[in-house]
Structure 1
Amino acid sequence: MKGIIGKKIGMTSVFSSDGKQTACTIIEAGPCVVTQVKTVESDGYNALQIAYGDKKEKHTLQAEKNHYAKANTSAKKFVKEFRDYSIAKALGEAITVEIFSEGEKVDVVGTSKGKGFQGVVKRHGFSGVGSQSHGQHDRQRAPGSLGNSSDASRVMKGMRMAGRMGGDRVKVKGLKVVKIFPEKNYILVTGNVPGHNGSIVYIQK
């Protein structure tokens, strides 16, 4: 596995030589710093801990300062561990978007936008009871029956009902890397990526 931490910038379009339009998401990925190298001998498994985004010193604990000092870098906001990293990296070494190549397929992990408390139509795609008729003028967005009557005498677990929507960890698989801008640390991937603009995402393969 290889991966990098990034920040979602927004969306744009890329046009090919034949005029075909492709919707893309711009991600500012890295540069990240290797803050810990884990091995089977010392930790029981192989992994690479990388960090992204500078953090103010007044918000950093002394233990964190000592940890980042080993990698000869300043305190970072976001830390992520990637198991069995396929590229050999040393402590304190930088990881940039150049670990990926154009045309490669990647997975992007992010946190979806929070929608708050939503009804069954928006949350689960219910369509209501159909057209309005006598006696059901207010049932267009209602959930309908919730299940059994006296036999179970309760609502069964897993019933699709109204509730909190969004704010979940989402992985979108198989996104194609359309273009890479190493000088700006930008990577463009096809389609949409979960989360609002400015949210943190993980790109991995």
Structure 2
Amino acid sequence: MKFILAEKREMTQKYAPDGSVIPVTKLSVAPCVITQIKTEAKDGYVALQIGCGFKKNLSKSIKGHLKNLGSFRYLKEFIIEPSLASDLKTGDVIDIDTFTPGDNVQVTGVSKGRGFQGVVRRYHFHGHPASHGHKDQLRHSGAIGAGGVQNVSKGKRMSGRMGTDQVTVKNLKIIEVDAQNQELFVKGAVPGAKGGLTVVVSLAGQIKLKKPTAAEEKKLSVAPEAVKPVDRVASSQPETQPAAAEVSQKSITEAEKQ
């Protein structure tokens, strides 16, 4: 099982080798840092907590939980096999190369909010006929309960708030992985608005960790320079000594002239 967090950007198109057009959704992958590893002994199950994005102001409890790992906007938890947790540690970054073109994935996101809507748009009711005495009832729901029971059953589909639901789209295919720009191109539509968080999961394969670059390794290998101690004895001497020496030299020259 492998997974990563990404933000939805836009829909575009790619071209197959035979020239056909493939509609794709571009997902921007932010650095996904492992913020917590839950174990069977301590938490009762094995899972990874992943953080991504940036948030300026965090509560004290979240700051204490994250410590010095970063100021993340999103935190998501994934249940994994116990054998995978042994090779991971907090602070590791999941690499975008975890996914390759051709992987079959499922993408989870929050659908767009539509506000308060009626039953025709919310549940695709047919509505009433536009003739034979139906006045101002074209998009009404009609009867909502039987006369004998004299109540409304639970779960009756009615008007209400539409959207902002967690939606998972399965059997999507990754068309391209742009490691330089940290972008994934997934075939088809992905739930959510632009800038919304999406969770990309594949049941096959394992996650790969991001390796430090040559510049980062060089920075870690160089030892910090030793700080020279401050000579407090020399610094404590008064700054008026040079001026006093100049005065004595002037007095000697005046005495020689006389």
Whether these two folds match at TM > 0.5 is yes
Which structure shows the bigger proportion of residues in helix conformation? 2
Partner of 2:43: 43
Partner of 1:81: 77
Say whether the 8 Å CA contact 1:30–1:97 is kept in structure 2. Answer: no
1:64-143 matches, cutoff 5 A: 64-69=62-67, 72-84=68-80, 88-130=87-129, 132-143=130-141
Deviation for aligned residue 1:30: 2.6
Judge which range, 120-129 or 88-97, deviates more: 88-97
Deviation by residue 1:88-109 (Cα, 9 ceiling, x = unmatched)? 4322111122111111111111
Partner of 2:8: 8
Give me the whole-angstrom Cα distance separating, in 1, the residues matched to 2:31 and 2:157.
Answer: 42
Say whether the 8 Å CA contact 1:181–1:187 is kept in structure 2. Answer: yes
1:144-183 matches, cutoff 5 A: 144-149=142-147, 151-183=148-180
Give me the whole-angstrom Cα distance separating, in 2, the residues matched to 1:133 and 1:54.
Answer: 57
* More contact order relative to length (CA 8 Å, sep ≥ 6): 1
Give me the whole-angstrom Cα distance separating, in 2, the residues matched to 1:50 and 1:89.
Answer: 12
Deviation for aligned residue 1:127: 1.6
Inter-CA distance 129–63: structure 2 relative to 1 (3 Å threshold) = closer
Deviation by residue 1:108-165 (Cα, 9 ceiling, x = unmatched)? 11111111111111011112123x223114232121222311x111122222221111
Give me the whole-angstrom Cα distance separating, in 1, the residues matched to 2:139 and 2:7.
Answer: 37
Among 187, 192, 196, the alignment partner of 2:184 is: 187
Number of equivalenced pairs: 199
Inter-CA distance 160–60: structure 2 relative to 1 (3 Å threshold) = closer
Larger Cα-atom Rg: 2
Two-structure CA RMSD over aligned residues (Å)? 1.7
Say whether the 8 Å CA contact 1:14–1:21 is kept in structure 2. Answer: yes
Q: Which amino acid aligns with 2:186?
A: V
Q: Which amino acid aligns with 2:195?
A: G
Identity over aligned pairs, percent: 40
Q: Secondary structure at the match of 2:73?
A: strand
Give me the whole-angstrom Cα distance separating, in 2, the residues matched to 1:49 and 1:143.
Answer: 44
Say whether the 8 Å CA contact 1:30–1:95 is kept in structure 2. Answer: no
Inter-CA distance 16–148: structure 2 relative to 1 (3 Å threshold) = same
Q: Secondary structure at the match of 1:54?
A: coil
Which structure shows the bigger proportion of residues in strand conformation? 1
Q: Where do 5+ consecutive residues of structure 1 fail to align?
A: none
Q: Which amino acid aligns with 2:194?
A: N
Q: Which amino acid aligns with 1:50?
A: I
TM-score where L is the length of structure 1: 0.89
Partner of 2:18: 18
TM-score where L is the length of structure 2: 0.72
Q: Which amino acid aligns with 1:60?
A: L
Give me the whole-angstrom Cα distance separating, in 1, the residues matched to 2:134 and 2:36.
Answer: 63
